[in-house]
């Protein structure tokens, strides 16, 4: 066992949504140390230019590499869509995973031919999921739908509210009309409403949760590279943000499913 195996996994996002990825990692890899970085002072990234997103993502990547991580996970669909190449360039030998690649792989593996993708307008407009899915299987048909209201509804805690259900029915009607057999939850804010979405789409449509799939991919990669932590001590979790908004703790703990513990604020 190398000393590297004890190093943490670095997970980062433009805000709080990536905590659903941290939650999946905690469940799948209970012995792994994790550093989470949320750029809460500059969220949302979705309205910013590609050059700005690349610049911000580069800053976060450098920060996590300086702290000494053995793996980087881009837990933000917007960052993954436009800046994953920049992260990989900076990371060198450190493996880089992202939610879009993981979600696309899982969708293709379980689909007979038609896949739906839901996400923020920026992620959908980037066409990143459709491109990656078609790279893996050109024969698959992909139907994407932007769901801009889901993020504020989830942050409001309306996880099983009539308004959220009605919104889901409206958004998903055109996707379901295409007879999709799989639906990718292409935003890290969406896992908390997974039961409601499953209810709306019915039992015949398989939901692909990119948080769970990237955690699975992380487990496989760490084992392949001999970097898995043997777990001689309890896992250590660190959370760094660039701002602590009033509701951050509440929303963050809802996403994580437990207390956030110690939060560190970083001023750029």
For the question of residue 76 being annotated catalytic, the response is yes
Please compute Rg for the chain using Cα positions: 18
Given 187, 193, 212, 222, the catalytic residue: 187
Catalytic residue among 16, 76, 185, 218: 76
Cis-peptide, bond into residue 44, ω within 30° of zero:
yes
| Contact between residue 112 and residue 83 where contact means Cβ atoms under 8 Å apart | no
Residue indicated by tokens 């996590």? 64
Nearest one of 97, 69, 80 to 214, comparing CA atoms: 97
147 is catalytic: no
Residues marked as catalytic: 76, 187
């Amino acid at each position: 066992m190398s000393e590297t195996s004890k190093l943490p996994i670095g997970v980062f996002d433009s805000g709080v949504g990536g905590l659903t990825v941290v939650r999946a990692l905690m469940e799948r890899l209970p012995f792994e140390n994790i550093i989470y970085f949320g750029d809460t002072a500059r969220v949302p990234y979705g309205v910013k230019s590609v050059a700005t997103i690349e610049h911000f993502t580069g800053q976060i990547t450098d920060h996590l590499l300086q702290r000494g991580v053995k793996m980087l996970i881009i837990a933000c669909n917007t960052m993954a869509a436009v800046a994953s190449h920049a992260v990989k360039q900076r990371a060198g030998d450190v493996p880089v995973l992202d939610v879009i690649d993981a979600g696309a792989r899982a969708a293709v593996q379980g689909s007979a031919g038609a896949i739906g993708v839901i996400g923020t307008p920026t992620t959908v407009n980037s066409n990143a999921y459709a491109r990656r899915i078609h790279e893996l299987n050109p024969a698959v048909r992909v139907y994407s739908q932007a769901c801009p209201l889901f993020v504020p509804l989830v942050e409001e805690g309306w996880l099983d509210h009539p308004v959220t259900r009605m919104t889901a029915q409206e958004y998903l009607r055109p996707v379901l009309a295409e007879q999709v057999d799989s639906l990718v939850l292409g935003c890290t804010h969406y896992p908390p409403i997974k039961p409601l979405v499953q209810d709306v789409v019915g039992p015949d449509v398989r939901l692909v949760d990119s948080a769970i799939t990237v955690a699975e991919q992380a487990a496989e990669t760490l084992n392949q590279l001999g970097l898995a932590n043997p777990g001689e001590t309890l896992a250590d979790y660190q959370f760094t943000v660039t701002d602590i908004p009033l509701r951050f703790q509440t929303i963050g703990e809802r996403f994580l499913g437990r207390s956030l513990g110690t939060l560190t604020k970083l001023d750029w």
